Amino acid sequence: MTVFSPIKTSLAEMGLADQALKSERFRELRMAQWSELEELLNRMDKRGIRSLDTQEILNLPKLYRGALSALSVARATSLDQNVIAYLESLCTRAYYRLYGTQSGLGKRIMSFLNQDWPLAAQRLWKDTAIAALLILISTIAAYLLVQSHPDWFYSFVDAGLAGDRTPAASTEALRNTLYTRPEDKTGLGIFASYLFSNNSRVAIFAFALGFAFGLPTIFFMLSTGFMLGGFIGLFASRDLGYEVGGWLIIHGSTEIFAIILAGGAGLHIGRAIAFPGSLSRTQSAALAGRTSGLLMVGVILMLLCAGLLEGYARQIITGDFLRYSLGIGLFILWMIYLYIPRRPKGLTAR
């Protein structure tokens, strides 16, 4: 049976009261500085740094150091947890205002478009070239096989994706699928949305599968090329090669390029894991993932453009010359935009 001593209980209560008194006194002596710092931070959150005058800007680091010192004392002396939590929040806000980036959302977006995305593409050019080579080789192989024997088409192209475009269709029916303009234009928006969602998943898989030493990404690039080559081979066997080229290039120059970039990002991570060098595999993958992740954000933007082109432009523009002109022009613009030399600004890559 435990016996509580009235004397010990009284001493404990006195200790708690003394601790509370110290905490209250500590807060009273410094609350004016904390409130001033908080008021300056609130004003900066609402109206930016320009809302402060010169003296207030000079006082800001001093007030931050005072709050940081108070937090250190509060932790060391085990003061009221509410005081510690308040100071931690205040110091965190002040730190990011003083030492964090001050650029707004618009500037960050422009920085990504002008620097981060193109530089990421340039740093991964070797991996991107490998992904492009894999698609090119498999496209040529599938094209030649379908040309020699049309039944190979079913091995390369998914039946759901092919639709009525199969070796069983007549030449006239295949031609009509390339030029028939849909009656209901409002359905194009739904179609474009579906294509964007589907192609985004495809690119993300190509990127995400790179963690397995890049092997699944290699398989994905090959299967993409087989599908493309089988599709072109079928139409070319009916003397519709030029026509199907225009049908594909109007959106494919953007879409396939985006998938190649996603494959390059996946191969980059796979290479970093397979050959980490002096780093651990986790560290190497994390470092490679920073640049690959930046590239993938740009890939999603490209796929959005491709979805709009496939859902709208390809259905509306039926002239072969216009289709080729738009597709080739877009490819040249993408190449210039992504690979024109730029001065790096702190992007770390592996």
DSSP 8-state code for residue 151: G
pLDDT at residue 236, rounded to an integer: 94
Rounded to an integer, what distance in angstroms lies between the CA atom of residue 83 and that of residue 71? 8
DSSP-based three-state secondary structure for 297? helix
pLDDT of residue 348: 41
Q: Give the pLDDT score at 10.
A: 47
pLDDT at 311: 79
- What are the structure tokens assigned to 309, written together? 């082109």
Q: pLDDT by residue (tens digit) across 134-191?
A: 999 999 999 999 999 999 999 998 776 777 788 989 999 999 888 876 554 445 555 5
Give the predicted TM-score (pTM) of the model: 0.69
277: left (phi over 0), alpha (psi -120 to 50) or beta: left
Determine the pLDDT at residue 117.
94
The domain segmentation of the chain, as residue ranges, is 10-99, 107-339
What pLDDT was estimated at residue 190? 56
Q: List the chain residues with pLDDT less than 70.
A: 1-23, 78-80, 100-104, 160, 181-196, 198, 343-350
